[in-house]
């Protein structure tokens, strides 16, 4: 179908050019150059990265999209896909993901601060200086899957070097190794291409990391990177945006899940509020509040607490004291814990004011008093 369309376009252009020449005099034809140069301008869905490796990933992704469009044609937009989201005792939230054939289900920690999906994948998994035992870590077993493919270090999707391969060799048996650094530790292993089975949707040749060694880890779950990268979970699923609500809990494992929604549609989703994000700011000035009090907020799903800068916290604390003036302060608790204000609520009902975050775009987030006060 693609060849016939290209031929039709060429035929129309040839006919048009023939008519144009026939309308010219013989003298005009003799003075007309026989070579016509047409400028070609590359078109990207988003601004190309200045990082050569990231730019290569963008070209690969664009090539895959064109191939899919030529092979299957334009397809209808998939409806939103939902997944349960479970709170964990260490403060994170996990989603269940199933890789391979037959599917193997594991819990994956949702992390917007990283961009790779990985899971321990060997019975000989080692965890050095970890607070958890390697024996307690659930694994994905590649030997049980019939759809698994190992990613070669010569594959364009691999960004690491191939020290054991010849420079001009197109084929190399060396796998694509990686080491991922996190604030708390690191994971090392190699990349696989595998089938991801999501509710009502299967993604083939999904790039997933197979980790064999971990260092200084404090949890047993695998990792699902949600960052802005070609190989994050949302990017490989082809979704335009995602949203989730988190259940309140007291650092315990609970079966009460909230929902994570993947949306394949463009534009705003009805019923949701939006605020603009600053993309990867490297200047420290973006981390400080502006003269009008706005800005300076970092969204980090990998951290389980929210905190404010000293000057901002002082203003909020003073306002809280004004609105809670009728309750008796517990000075001894404040001195013992070094925080405040603290109150004695043992003998009466209480009313704690809501804490409201105001974002650009007229978006607000209301935090009930019982969600930011510790009892």
* 141-151 burial code (b ≥16 CB/10 A, e <16): ebeebeebebb
173 CB contacts (<8 Å, ≥6 apart)?
152
Predicted pLDDT of residue 21: 35
Classify residue 239 as exposed, middle or buried by CB count within 10 Å of its CB (0-12, 13-18, 19+).
middle
The better pLDDT of the pair 144, 271 is held by 144
87-105 pLDDT, tens digit each: 887 778 889 999 999 999 9
CA nearest neighbour of 176 among 195, 163, 186, 166: 163
Give me the mean pLDDT over the 287-300 stretch: 72
Distance CA(16)–CA(161), nearest Å, equals: 50
- Are 75 and 187 within 8 A, CB to CB? no
Predicted pLDDT of residue 213: 93
186-225 pLDDT, tens digit each: 999 999 999 999 877 899 999 999 999 999 887 778 999 9
Give me the mean pLDDT over the 43-64 stretch: 65
pLDDT above 70 coverage of the chain, percent: 73
Least confident of 23-37, 280-294, 295-309: 23-37
Least confident of 5-19, 31-45, 126-140, 264-278: 5-19
* pTM over cut 0.85: no
Predicted pLDDT of residue 191: 95
Predicted pLDDT of residue 26: 47
101-160 pLDDT, tens digit each: 999 999 999 988 888 999 999 988 998 888 888 888 899 999 999 999 999 888 888 888
Answer whether residue 338 shows pLDDT above 80: yes
Predicted pLDDT of residue 135: 83
The better pLDDT of the pair 30, 313 is held by 313
Predicted pLDDT of residue 225: 92
Distance CA(170)–CA(156), nearest Å, equals: 11
Predicted pLDDT of residue 248: 63
Residue 195 vs residues 65, 152, 159, 266: alpha-carbon distances, Å: 18, 17, 21, 26
């Amino acid at each position: 179908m693609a060849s016939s369309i290209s031929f039709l376009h060429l035929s129309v252009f040839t006919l048009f050019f023939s008519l144009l020449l026939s309308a010219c005099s013989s003298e005009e034809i003799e003075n007309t150059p026989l070579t016509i140069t047409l400028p070609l301008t590359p078109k990207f869905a988003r601004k190309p990265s200045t990082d050569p490796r990231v730019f290569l990933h963008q070209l690969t992704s664009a090539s895959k999209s064109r191939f899919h469009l030529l092979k299957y044609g334009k397809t209808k937009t998939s409806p939103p896909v939902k997944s349960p989201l479970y709170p964990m005792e260490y403060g994170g939230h996990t989603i269940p993901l199933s890789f391979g054939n037959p599917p193997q289900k594991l819990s994956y920690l949702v992390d917007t601060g990283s961009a790779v999906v990985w899971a321990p994948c060997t019975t000989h998994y080692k965890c050095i200086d970890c607070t958890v035992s390697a024996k307690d870590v659930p694994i994905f077993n590649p030997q049980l899957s019939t759809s698994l493919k190992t990613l070669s270090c010569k594959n364009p999707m691999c960004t690491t070097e191939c020290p054991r391969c010849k420079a001009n060799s197109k084929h190399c048996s060396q796998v694509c190794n990686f080491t991922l650094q996190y604030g708390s530790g690191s994971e090392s292993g190699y990349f696989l291409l595998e089938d991801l089975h999501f509710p009502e949707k299967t993604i083939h040749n999904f790039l997933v990391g197979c980790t064999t060694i971990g260092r200084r880890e404090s949890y047993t779950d695998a990792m699902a990177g949600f960052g802005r990268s070609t190989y994050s979970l949302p990017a490989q699923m082809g979704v335009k945006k995602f949203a989730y609500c988190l259940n309140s809990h007291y650092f315990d494992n609970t079966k009460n899940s909230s929902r994570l929604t993947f949306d394949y549609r463009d534009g705003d989703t009805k019923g949701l509020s939006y605020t603009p994000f600053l993309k990867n700011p490297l200047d420290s000035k973006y981390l400080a509040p502006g003269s009008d009090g706005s800005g300076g907020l970092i969204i980090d799903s990998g951290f389980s607490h929210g905190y404010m800068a000293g000057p901002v916290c002082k203003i909020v604390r003073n306002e809280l004291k004004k609105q809670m003036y009728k309750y008796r302060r517990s000075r001894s608790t404040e001195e013992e814990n070094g925080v405040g204000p603290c109150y004695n609520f043992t003998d009466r009902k209480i009313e704690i004011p809501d804490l409201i975050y105001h974002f650009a775009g007229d978006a607000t987030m209301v935090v009930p008093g019982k969600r930011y006060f510790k009892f």
